[in-house]
Amino acid sequence: MRPLPPILKKLARAQAAFFKAAEVIECEQWATKPGANEWSVAEVVAHLIMVERAIVGAADRVTQKVAQPVAFLKRMHLPLWLVEARVVKRKSPLALDPALVGKKEEMLGGLRATHERTLAFLQETDKRDLRKYCWPHPFIGMLNLYEWFEMIASHQVRHTKQVVEISERLPKLEGISQN
């Protein structure tokens, strides 16, 4: 069985780094887009919540059934470090839910709650072998459940880099010191 501690550590590091990057964004600029056709930090957080919820929801559904075998060659996928690298910018296959966009503290609380549900799922399934449950990622290929949970962390690392880029491009507010 694949050990969970490295996955849990990676999820914790990714979450901590994301919150550190988001911390420097002033509440007044939370929903400010740095340019045309670009996301604000609020939209990035909404996207992270949507993706993590979708993965945990799918994981919950597939583990309720008997795992379907996947041929070895069909289990091949691109490495997860490509997700983190942010070399190729991709358009999300999930349309952004504008109802998730809100105030900074509320959204960060929502992201924390979503992450707690992820950790609860991993704790609930700790004694099961999740390698046999697979479904394809839209860009990198077939992932088993352990890889999907690593992908959550890699995805958050990717968007942490995006938040840093956004923070560097937002205009500095007069009279407000940046954290």
What is the pLDDT confidence band of residue 31, given thresholds at 50, 70 and 90? very high
Global confidence as pTM: 0.88
Residue 179 has pLDDT above 70, yes or no: no
Domain extent, residue 48, equals 4-169
Q: Which two tokens stand for residue 5?
A: 């501690």
Q: Average model confidence (pLDDT) for the chain? A: 90
Residue 43 lies in a domain: yes
List the end-to-end C-alpha distance of the chain, in Å, as a whole number. Answer: 43
pLDDT band at 165 (very low <50, low <70, confident <90, very high): very high
Torsion, CA 30, CA 34, CA 35, CA 38, rounded to 10: -60
pLDDT tens per residue, range 35-54: 888 999 999 999 999 999 99
**Widest pairwise Cα distance in the chain:** 60
Q: What's the whole-number mean pLDDT along residues 114-136?
A: 93
In a domain? residue 178: no
Q: Are 164 and 19 in contact (CB under 8 A)?
A: no
175 in a structural domain: no
Whether 83 is in a domain gets the answer yes
The predicted pLDDT at position 29 comes to 95
What is the count of structural domains for the chain? 1
Q: How far is CA 173 from CA 48, 101, 176, 177, in A?
A: 26, 22, 6, 8
Domain containing 15 — which CATH number? 1.20.120.450
Whether residue 177 lies inside any domain: the answer is no
Considering only residues 104 and 67, tell me which one the structure prediction assigns the higher pLDDT: 104
Average pLDDT on 61-85 reads 84
71 in any annotated domain: yes
- Asked if residue 179 belongs to a domain, the reply is no
Residue 176 placed within a domain: no
Instruction: Check residue 175 and give its pLDDT.
Output: 53
Cα–Cα dist 45/102, whole Å: 10
At residue 2, the pLDDT reads 54
Q: What is the pLDDT of residue 112?
A: 97
